[in-house]
Structure formats: C-alpha cells, structure tokens
C-alpha cells in the first residue's frame, strides 16, 4: 500500500495536466488536482455542454488537441468506446517524447485499441469509487482508495508520477494498491458482469418476477427484492458478510445458509469462469466495441428492454413516496435521460 508520505506532490505540481473529459471522473480529477496546486486544462470538444460548467468552476478549457499539445500529462477520462478515436485524431499527434499518457481504466491499453508511441510514459490511477464520491471525499479531507499501474516507463519516474497524481486527487489519503493494466481491466469487467451489476440486476429481477408470478403484489415484491438490498449491501460494506449476518434475525441468517446455495449453485461459478474467459480473451471487448462502432444496436435493444420491465415502473411510483431518497446526480432522470 502507498500513502501520502510515499508520494512527492511536487512531481505533478511541476507538470501541466490535461484532463480529457468532464464527466463523473473528469470533474473530480480536474477540480481536485487544481485544488492541490496543479495547473489543469480540461480538454473538451467545442460543442460539449460541459465546457460552460468547467469554465464556471474556474478551470481553463480547450479542445482535446490544444489541451494535449500544451500539457505534460494527458489523462484520458472519456468513455471507453470513444477513447481510441479521440486518441487517434487529437491526442496522438500531440504526444511528443517526455510526455505522459494516463488512464483511470485500462480497457483500451489492455485490449490494444490504443498503442502509445515510444518515449511516452503510460500510467493508470483508478479510483475505486464514482467521481462524485472522489470529489466529495477530497473536499472533506479524506480520500477514496485508488489502484496505480505503469504500462510504459520511459522516464524512469512513471510510478512516482502516478503516485503524485493519485495524491493530487486525494487517493493516497485512503491508500493506493499497485496493480497492472491487465489485472485492473480484467477484474473490473469480471466484477461488473458477474457480481456487481449483471448478476445482481438479474437476481433482483428474477426474485421480483417469482413473487409477482406467484400472485403477490408488485409493490411488496419490489420492497423485498430490490429496496431492501441497500440495507444488506451497506452492512456488507461496513463489516463484510459476517456483519450482515450478525445484523439480521436468526431466521434470516439461517435462511441465508440453507437457501443461498440452492439459488447460487456451483454451476453459477462455472458460468462466472466462462465470463472471465470472455473478458481475458478479448471477446467481450470485441463484441462491445463492434456493437458501438455500428451505432450500438444490441446495446440499445438491451437497454430498452430493461427499462420497460415492470420493476422499473413500480419502483418509480414507490420512490416518489420516499422523501428521504435524494440523489446528487442531476443528470439522471430515468428513461428521459437519453431523449
């Protein structure tokens, strides 16, 4: 583990940093680096709706090419599927020897969609939390743990620079773990698909459908299979599976032991191994990128199918009754967000 005392902030303060993108991670990195005494320029296209927001928050804004040209460190924080085109058209021509190219996720390096030139350091600083949390913790004097990795070290200082960058966004207040681009990418994609998003979403949906099809009220099914999931996950987050089991009733805990393995059977683990294989061999990445390159037809159909499910309509009605549920994500408005 690396902490604040293990990094020299002056290494990143001596550089000009271009943050390419101003979404969830982009705004957190740019503002926190700025507040850590780093000269920052945000790279955005002329028609980007984020340009005014970044400027209003006191940041210098330029096109991605201009930002990369005038900076020593270029942090790529645009979505995975857009990085390689943006890189090829605007970033790569500005990558002269001695500069550093940085990422918060290893997807494009791991699967070869971006191949930086010789003479350029390539490193990763990947916060283990969404951008709004990264920024909030920085402002509050704390930090979100980060992963750090180096893919190319032409200067001999790439890891030191990565740690300095991590310190600049507050990550070393919590701690950094050294990894590789391959390990970060493969475990991240696997975790999202097999547990955190894919499997959890499907498990919740199947539970909801099972109760509704058996004649129970959809509202009750929503509470039991989705709403209360947060209570369980929060307990796991605070103290692991053991605290979750300790906190629930004996009836609940006993059911956990005897019924959980009936649902999540050993063949589920075999399916997980197959998902991991698709991640490692690049077939998932290829499927995703090829779909995106053709206008994302598969992605759009899957998204629309999910949003039309009964659980979403029931959830919207019930959440409207819960005044305590607040979100600081003003961009999200359900299905309307993509209208």
Q: Residue 188 is encoded by which pair of tokens?
A: 């991240």
Q: Is the pLDDT of residue 338 over 90?
A: no
Q: 75: how many CB neighbours lie within 10 A of its CB?
A: 27
Closest CA to 135 of 160, 178, 171, 102: 171
**Percentage of the chain surpassing pLDDT 70?**
96
* CA 249 distance to own-chain centroid: 34
- Residues 6 or more apart whose CB falls under 8 angstroms from that of 47 comprise none
Do 296 and 82 contact (CB within 8 A), yes or no?
Answer: no
Distance CA 303, CA 298 (A): 9
pLDDT in tens, 78-109: 999 999 999 999 999 999 999 999 999 999 99
Q: Is the pLDDT of residue 114 over 60?
A: yes
pTM: 0.90
Distance CA 224, CA 204 (A): 9
Dihedral of CA 230/105/159/29: which sign?
negative
DSSP 308: T
Average pLDDT over residues 208-215: 97
Q: Residue 240 is encoded by which pair of tokens?
A: 């692991």
- Residues 6 or more apart whose CB falls under 8 angstroms from that of 209 comprise none
Dihedral of CA 226/227/228/231: which sign?
positive
pLDDT in tens, 8-19: 999 999 999 999
Distance CA 21, CA 274 (A): 34
- Residues 6 or more apart whose CB falls under 8 angstroms from that of 280 comprise 186
Q: Is the pLDDT of residue 278 over 70?
A: yes
**pLDDT for 339:** 31
Residues facing residue 83 across a β-bridge: none
Q: Which residues are catalytic?
A: 105
Distance CA 44, CA 34 (A): 17
């Amino acid at each position: 583990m690396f902490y604040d005392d293990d990094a020299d902030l002056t290494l990143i303060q001596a550089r000009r940093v271009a943050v390419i993108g101003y979404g969830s991670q982009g705004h957190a990195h740019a503002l926190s680096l700025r507040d850590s005494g780093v000269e920052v320029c945000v790279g955005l296209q002329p028609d980007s709706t984020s340009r005014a927001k970044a400027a209003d928050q006191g940041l210098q804004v330029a096109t991605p090419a201009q930002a990369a040209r005038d900076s020593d460190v270029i942090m790529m924080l645009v979505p995975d599927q857009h990085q390689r085109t943006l890189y090829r058209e605007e970033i790569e021509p500005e990558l002269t020897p001695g500069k550093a190219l940085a990422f918060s996720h290893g997807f494009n390096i791991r699967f070869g969609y971006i191949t930086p030139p010789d003479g350029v350091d390539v490193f990763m600083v990947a916060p283990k939390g969404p951008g709004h949390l990264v920024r909030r913790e920085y402002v509050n004097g704390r930090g979100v743990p980060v992963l750090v990795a180096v893919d190319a070290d032409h200067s001999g200082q790439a890891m030191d620079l990565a740690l300095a960058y991590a310190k600049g966004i507050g990550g070393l207040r919590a701690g950094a773990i050294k990894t590789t681009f391959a390990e970060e990418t493969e475990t991240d994609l696997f975790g999202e698909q097999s547990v955190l998003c894919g499997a959890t979403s499907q498990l919740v949906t199947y539970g909801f459908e099972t109760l509704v099809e058996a004649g129970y009220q959809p509202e009750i099914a929503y509470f039991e299979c989705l709403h209360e999931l947060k209570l369980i996950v929060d307990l796991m987050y605070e103290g692991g599976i053991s605290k979750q089991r300790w906190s629930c009733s004996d009836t609940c805990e006993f059911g956990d032991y005897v019924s959980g393995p009936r649902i999540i059977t050993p063949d589920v683990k075999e399916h997980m191994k197959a998902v991991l294989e698709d991640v490692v061999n690049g077939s998932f990445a290829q499927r995703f990128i090829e779909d995106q390159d053709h206008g994302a037809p598969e992605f759009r159909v899957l998204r629309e199918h999910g949003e039309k499910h009964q659980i979403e309509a029931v959830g919207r009605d019930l959440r409207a009754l819960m005044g305590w549920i607040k979100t600081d994500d003003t961009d999200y408005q359900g299905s309307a967000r993509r209208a």
